[in-house]
Amino acid sequence: MGELFLVPSPIGNLKEVSPRVMEVLSAIDLVACEDTRNTSKLLALLGISKKCISCHVHNESFESEKIIELLLNGKKIAYLSDAGYPCISDPGSILVKKAIENNIKITPLSGPNAFLNALIASGIDTSHFLFYGFLDSKESKRENELDKLKEFPYTLIFYEAPHRINDTLKSMLKVLGNRKITIARELTKLHEEFIRSDLLTLINENRNFIGELVIVVEKYEKEDIKDLDEYVTKVKELVKSNYKLKEAVSIVSLLFSVNKNKLYKEAIEKIED
Ligand code: SAM
């Protein structure tokens, strides 16, 4: 019986290839990978020569069958995606499921992963978290996804492309309210950067983000209704100065990062009293 090794690849810094990864890549019969050109380049840089076969998101169902055949015939195969861990916002999961169905031994190796590096340096609560990966690129779908997460009481982690991040930050502010966030950029690379801020400030800065990015968002905190009193007073003052109730609630919720719907409900009750 063969063996399937799940091998993480560097997310930037080549020196993060461990001695164990080197040992396994040198010993196996064959490499299966997301992109044969990228992985061949990596292997060449590591001084390892192995045959690479392709198994990516568009052909994984079909190609994984061939890989399973090879494993059943006793081959030792490493699977690599283009960066970081296979199966994490990357192909590999179909192959793993089929290997399990066929009682093939699976050995995962440790190594680089973008979201864990981002989380541990974010300064945001690491005790419990949800890794979401990529949100949908369409605004309405993205906001629907965020709506399902908005009261999740643990840290949220997202992957995002640089050309979409400003739209995503706006959707986050709209749906989640103002929250602390950390953007981890170009992890393990020369220009690695951590931008620790909040959604409103970052949107107002209108930055031009480049490179690869991870977004870490602080968890949902239930607002204490007692604390809302002070904000209701501010709403009342604005209403006295001729703002409509909805406008006043919007201004106060934006200025003080208070949940708009809760403030509105509370303000309507208190103002009618
Ligand atoms: N499998 C990978 C992992 O384990 O982290 C993730 C692959 S996913 C297709 C690519 C996304 O991961 C990027 O769009 C970015 O959000 C994040 N990412 C990958 N490398 C990164 C890096 N060096 N710095 C920041 N984010 C990175």
Q: How far is the CA of 12 from the centre of ligand 1 (A)?
A: 9
Count Cα atoms within 13 angstroms, Cβ side, for 97.
6
Length of the chain as a residue count: 273
Quote the pLDDT of residue 254. 84
Spatial strand order of the sheet with 155-160 comes to 129-134, 155-160, 213-217, 180-185, 193-198
Quote the pLDDT of residue 148. 97
For the CA of 88, the closest atom of ligand 1 is 1
Quote the pLDDT of residue 265. 85
Quote the pLDDT of residue 226. 63
Ligand 1 neighbour 113 (Cβ under 6 A)? yes
Q: Please report how the helices 225-240 and 245-256 are oriented relative to each other, as an axis angle in degrees rounded to 10.
A: 130
Q: How far is CA 10 from the centre of its chain?
A: 17
Ligand 1 neighbour 213 (Cβ under 6 A)? yes
Ligand 1 neighbour 210 (Cβ under 6 A)? no
Q: How far is the CA of 159 from the centre of ligand 1 (A)?
A: 7
Ligand 1 neighbour 187 (Cβ under 6 A)? yes
Q: How far is the CA of 35 from the centre of ligand 1 (A)?
A: 15
Quote the pLDDT of residue 135. 98
Q: How far is CA 166 from the centre of its chain?
A: 15
Q: Which mean pLDDT values do the consecutive 10-residue runs of the chain (273 residues) have? A: 96 97 98 96 96 92 95 98 98 97 98 98 98 98 97 97 96 95 98 96 93 97 76 89 90 84 85 68
For a pocket test of ligand 1, which of 6, 38, 214, 215 has the largest count of ligand atoms closer than 8 A to its C-beta? 214
Quote the pLDDT of residue 225. 64
- Amino acid identity of residue 35, one-letter, is D
Q: How far is the CA of 115 from the centre of ligand 1 (A)?
A: 7
Quote the pLDDT of residue 229. 86
Q: Phi first, then psi: give them for residue 58, nearest 5 degrees.
A: -90, -15
